[in-house]
Amino acid sequence: MKLVTGNSNRALAEAVASYLEMPLADCTVKRFADKEIYVEIHENVRGEDVFILQSTSFPANDNLMELLILTDALRRSSARRITAVVPYFGYARQDRKSTPRTPISAKLVANLIVESGVNRVITLDLHAAQIQGFFDIPTDNLYSAPVMTRDIEAHYGKDNVMIVSPDVGGVARARAIAQRIGADLAIVDKRRPRAGVSEVMNIIGDVSGQSCILIDDIVDSGGTLVNAADALLKAGAKAVSAYITHGVLSEGASERIGKSRLKELVITDSIGATDAVKATGNIRRISIAPLIGEAVARTASEQSVSSLFD
């Protein structure tokens, strides 16, 4: 077995390699002067079971091309099987035609990955579960719920804790966490009364005196979380924190979170942390390296991966 990584999240790749007690494969992924991507594998991979760990996070197009070119290099080097381990699958929010004459970019990216020569995909908390069906190869969608549950129990306990979905679309995800810790569930109902008017937040459920924990898969600008936290505190919540799988946190988001009334934002290391994220006092990161590492090990030995979710 070989573990290969591009430049998207080397820290996570090194943590996974440490969990598996094996070195990262020696390879070069760099840029020519015109920014074209150059890849060279410096060790024999013929007949090997190779795992490429590469999130397609910002810069999404560069990291996606690194994944595709790494796959092509390994395929032409006679690797036996190539598994793309993509903790954060970029373009996942474009999973349907939301308006006329728009693309389904998630399907296009899935096609690119399959056509490049990938034999299997492992990813984490897809934005929409149906994206698994966009791939014509075996695809394992891992869940961060067990990791988050352990951290919530360690830092917040189970008493007076209420799990909150920041929108109606994320209810299933939040309910899974609530059931694991035996907590009640509340929902933030977002409505925009008319164009140009800020969102009105209605809370479904009694959050008075509760320590509320928002659960979601992606935090980008942070606006929804900040508004939801304000609405929950206005409704009587004692404190509001958030657990989000993928900390996209585009420009300005870290500062917005830092100045918000959120007690804490907990994100996984599926995306490499920027300096702004590291410098924000109320953002904490938890590692998914053991989860990814165990999934890789079980895939390589043809064992069950679904039992990781129990």
Give dist(CA 92, CA 278) in Å, integer.
Answer: 25
79 has a pLDDT exceeding 90: yes
Residue numbers belonging to the annotated binding site for Mg(2+): 127, 167
The one catalytic residue in 30, 97, 158, 190 is 190
Residue ranges at the known binding site: 34-36, 93-94, 127, 167, 192, 216, 220-224
- Bridge partners, residue 191, by sequence: 200
pLDDT in tens, 4-53: 999 999 999 999 999 999 999 999 999 999 999 999 999 999 999 999 99
145-287: which CATH number, 3.40.50.300, 3.40.50.10860, 3.30.1330.10, 3.40.50.2020?
A: 3.40.50.2020
Which amino acids are annotated as binding site for D-ribose 5-phosphate, given as ranges? 192, 216, 220-224
pTM over 0.85: yes
Q: Fold identical between 2-143+290-309 and 145-287? A: yes
Going by DSSP bridges, is the β-strand pair 27-31/37-41 parallel, antiparallel, or unpaired? Answer: antiparallel
Reported as a pLDDT band with limits 50, 70 and 90, residue 167 is confident
Delimit the domains of the chain by residue range. Answer: 2-143+290-309, 145-287
190 is annotated as an active-site residue: yes
Q: Tens digit of pLDDT for each residue in 118-148?
A: 999 999 999 988 899 999 999 999 999 999 9
DSSP state string for 163-205: EEESSGGGHHHHHHHHHHHT-EEEEEEEE--STTSPPEEEEES
Strands (E) located in 211-307: 211-219, 239-247, 264-268, 283-286
Which string of b and e fits 68-90 if b means at least 16 CB within 10 Å? bbbbebbbeeebebbbbbbbbbb
**CATH of region 2-143+290-309, choose from 3.30.420.40, 3.30.499.10, 3.40.50.2020, 3.10.580.10:** 3.40.50.2020
Lowest average pLDDT, out of 65-74, 80-89, 115-124, 167-176, goes to: 167-176
Q: Which residues of 234-261 are buried (b: 16+ CB within 10 A; e: fewer)?
A: ebebebbbbbbbbbbbeeebbebbbebe
Token pair of 100, please?
Answer: 């006329």
DSSP, res 134:
G
Q: At what angle do helices 171-181 and 145-156 cross, to 10 degrees?
A: 50
